[in-house]
A = this chain, B = another copy of it.
Amino acid sequence: MQPNFIFIMADQLRWDYLGCTGHPHIKTPAIDALARRGVNFTRAFVQAPVCGGSRMSFYTGRYNITHGATYNNFPLRIDEKTIGDYLRPLGYRVALVGKTHFKADAEAMQRLGIDPSSRVGVFASQCGFEPYERDDGLHPDQIADPNLAYNVWLRQLGYRSKNPWHDFANSVEGENGEVLSGWSMRNARRPARVKEEHSETAYMTDRALAFIDEAGAGPWCLHLSYIKPHWPYIAPAPYHAMYRPEQVIPANRSEAEKTDPHPVMAAFMAHEESIAFSRDEVRETVIPAYMGLISQVDHHVGRVIAHLAKRGLADTTIVIVTSDHGDYLGDHWLGEKDLFHDEIVRIPLIVVDPRAEADATRGREVTDLIEAIDLAPTFLDWAEGTPEAHRLEGRSLRTFVNGSRPEDWRVAAFCDGDFALRHARRRLAVPPSRARGFMVRAARWKYVLFEDLPPQLFDLAADPRELRDLGRAAGYEDVRGEMEARLFVWLRGLKTRVTVSYEQIERRTGKAKERGYLFGVW
């Protein structure tokens, strides 16, 4: 029987901000319970250090450089197949509640005559998902859709505003009742102006439960994609006050990092968010709210799990919890994301397959190197589809979940980032084509190649917190050479030949003459 999937993503959730991944203070009982019931992949990496590229890798099962939608709002190529395109023909209803950060390639759609309002056009405009509830979660006033469903709902509840997403869900009240915007991090200690049950996280969960009720036995795949704990860092009561500054773990940074920093680091350290997060006051204000938002997500993950049980779907629904990347939060004197420290590229990944085939691994940790692109082929594997290995660059995790380890599993994980749109590029005086970093992370070493600039190298055995960049250090030439060689091999293997399957090739190899092309015959 084909299982259902509930594929839960929390945006900008760091791998180390869960109870089950070792945070000393945070409360995530629901997700911790999932880890006890399933597999906790503790060395999982995204393929891009930013939402857009990373998500397109999740959804397509292909590396960032391969699918080419390397940054937020860079359209995905019209013929890239996503989880929806893979699962729908197998009988699945594949729906989205929340964020994808997908942008359609409107130019190609127009050139190819694809009507965005047609059935095909809707899927092509929604990353292959049925947009049960599409909401990318960031709605600055000047570009907010007046008909955003969440805003309409808030207005119906009496939150009167043109953009209640901002004015209520992501704003707070000051000492004198004045409205203060969540866009300013100084306001993160105060509660949102919505009740908890009217917050984005609660609303999206309600929508997910509605989908589950509607979709019934399935098979279905629901991508429940929370915007939080992503900024604006505003949590509703009581989560805004759940954590105290003393529960903020110390920043992972050293004074030495500021001495002769790597040029890309230096350029990002000069960003406003990095300067802000370098101040303890900012960390102590923001991180408790960030932690509260995570505990709130956890609470709602618990609601989903309870709902599956209530609907009799617990035994047939596979649950995945992950994120699209982390958040520097001041570590390494940085804010936001875009670079390659574990704070960004390492993600939580918990997989619960309730079926008997996975009984051997309940509560197990897997420390093998996992890539986000492994999920799409895993869904396809669970759904009993054709592997499509000529397109999918990830590998199915089903073997791990069922208690074995593929003997030829990867020995390095890859990630590549594009900072063409970031101000750092101007500071570095790099053209849009060259603002690229390529990361390879093997058992001991993490290496990042930047075009036209020195590399970064970290010895994860001696320096697991990545505080000492050996990219320009003498004595590591051989290591750097080995890591570059791995990147070279990886690039040669990118799956750009997408229109012909391996099976088709096997069938046709050496068969031209059978088809009548009698070349070379005397």
Q: Does A142 have its Cβ within 8 Å of any Cβ on chain B? A: yes
8 A Cβ contacts from A227-275 to B: 231, 271-274
Q: Does A31 have its Cβ within 8 Å of any Cβ on chain B? A: no
Is the beta-carbon distance between B492 and A492 smaller than 8 angstroms?
no
Is the beta-carbon distance between B68 and A496 smaller than 8 angstroms?
yes
With a cutoff of 8 Å between Cβ atoms, the chain B residues found around residue A505 in the complex are 420-421, 432
Contact of A510 among B335, B418, B426, B506 (CB under 8 A): B426
Of A110-118, A190-198, A376-384, A459-467, the one with at least 4 CB within 8 A of chain B: A110-118
Q: Does A186 have its Cβ within 8 Å of any Cβ on chain B? A: yes
With a cutoff of 8 Å between Cβ atoms, the chain B residues found around residue A418 in the complex are 497
- Looking at the assembled complex, report how far the CB atom of A264 sits from the nearest CB atom of chain B, in whole angstroms: 15
Is the beta-carbon distance between A422 and B276 smaller than 8 angstroms?
no
With a cutoff of 8 Å between Cβ atoms, the chain B residues found around residue A493 in the complex are 433
Is the beta-carbon distance between B522 and A186 smaller than 8 angstroms?
yes
Q: Does A502 have its Cβ within 8 Å of any Cβ on chain B? A: yes
- Looking at the assembled complex, report how far the CB atom of A303 sits from the nearest CB atom of chain B, in whole angstroms: 29
**Contacts known (A66-B496, A421-B510, A438-B492); A184 close to B335, Cβ less than 8 A:** no
Q: Does A280 have its Cβ within 8 Å of any Cβ on chain B? A: no
- Looking at the assembled complex, report how far the CB atom of A182 sits from the nearest CB atom of chain B, in whole angstroms: 9
Contact of A120 among B111, B390, B496 (CB under 8 A): B111
- Looking at the assembled complex, report how far the CB atom of A249 sits from the nearest CB atom of chain B, in whole angstroms: 20
A71 to B496, CA, bound (A): 13
8 A Cβ contacts from A388-422 to B: 389-390, 418, 420-422
Look across to chain B and name the residue whose beta carbon is closest to the beta carbon of A105.
B499
Q: Does A500 have its Cβ within 8 Å of any Cβ on chain B? A: yes
- Looking at the assembled complex, report how far the CB atom of A274 sits from the nearest CB atom of chain B, in whole angstroms: 7
Q: Does A491 have its Cβ within 8 Å of any Cβ on chain B? A: yes
Interface of A is mostly: loop
Is the beta-carbon distance between A425 and B509 smaller than 8 angstroms?
yes
- What 1/0 mask marks residues of chain A from 430 to 466 whose CB sits below 8 Å from any chain B CB? 0111001010000000000101000000000000000
Is the beta-carbon distance between A515 and B421 smaller than 8 angstroms?
no
Look across to chain B and name the residue whose beta carbon is closest to the beta carbon of A88.
B111
**Contacts known (A114-B114, A420-B509); A74 close to B522, Cβ less than 8 A:** no
Among A185, A505, A515, chain B packs the most CB atoms within 10 A around the CB of A505
Q: Does A318 have its Cβ within 8 Å of any Cβ on chain B? A: no
Is the beta-carbon distance between A74 and B497 smaller than 8 angstroms?
yes
Q: Does A108 have its Cβ within 8 Å of any Cβ on chain B? A: yes
With a cutoff of 8 Å between Cβ atoms, the chain B residues found around residue A66 in the complex are 496
Is the beta-carbon distance between A492 and B74 smaller than 8 angstroms?
no
Assign chain A's interface to a size class. 35 or more
Is the beta-carbon distance between A143 and B515 smaller than 8 angstroms?
yes
Is the beta-carbon distance between B138 and A522 smaller than 8 angstroms?
no
Q: Does A520 have its Cβ within 8 Å of any Cβ on chain B? A: yes
Is the beta-carbon distance between A107 and B336 smaller than 8 angstroms?
no
Q: Does A79 have its Cβ within 8 Å of any Cβ on chain B? A: yes
- What 1/0 mask marks residues of chain A from 141 to 153 whose CB sits below 8 Å from any chain B CB? 1110000000000
Q: Does A311 have its Cβ within 8 Å of any Cβ on chain B? A: no
A420 to B76, CA, bound (A): 28
Q: Does A498 have its Cβ within 8 Å of any Cβ on chain B? A: yes
With a cutoff of 8 Å between Cβ atoms, the chain B residues found around residue A141 in the complex are 516
Is the beta-carbon distance between B74 and A499 smaller than 8 angstroms?
yes
A203 to B118, CA, bound (A): 44
Is the beta-carbon distance between A272 and B436 smaller than 8 angstroms?
no
A487 to B488, CA, bound (A): 8
A493 to B420, CA, bound (A): 14
Q: Does A372 have its Cβ within 8 Å of any Cβ on chain B? A: no
Q: Does A365 have its Cβ within 8 Å of any Cβ on chain B? A: no
Among A138, A279, A510, chain B packs the most CB atoms within 10 A around the CB of A510
Look across to chain B and name the residue whose beta carbon is closest to the beta carbon of A449.
B492
**Contacts known (A77-B77, A272-B520); A497 close to B68, Cβ less than 8 A:** yes
Look across to chain B and name the residue whose beta carbon is closest to the beta carbon of A425.
B509
**Contacts known (A426-B509, A436-B492, A488-B487); A499 close to B184, Cβ less than 8 A:** no
13 A-B contacts (beta carbon < 8 Å): A66-B496, A68-B496, A68-B499, A79-B111, A112-B114, A113-B121, A140-B516, A231-B519, A277-B520, A390-B432, A421-B510, A426-B509, A488-B491
Given contacts A181-B518, A336-B519, A421-B512, 20 further A-B contacts (CB under 8 A): A75-B499, A77-B498, A79-B111, A105-B499, A107-B499, A113-B114, A113-B118, A138-B517, A141-B516, A142-B515, A142-B516, A273-B521, A276-B521, A277-B520, A336-B520, A390-B432, A390-B433, A431-B502, A433-B493, A449-B492
10 shortest A-B CB distances, which residue pairs?
A: A273-B520, A140-B516, A423-B510, A183-B518, A75-B499, A113-B120, A68-B496, A432-B505, A491-B491, A488-B488
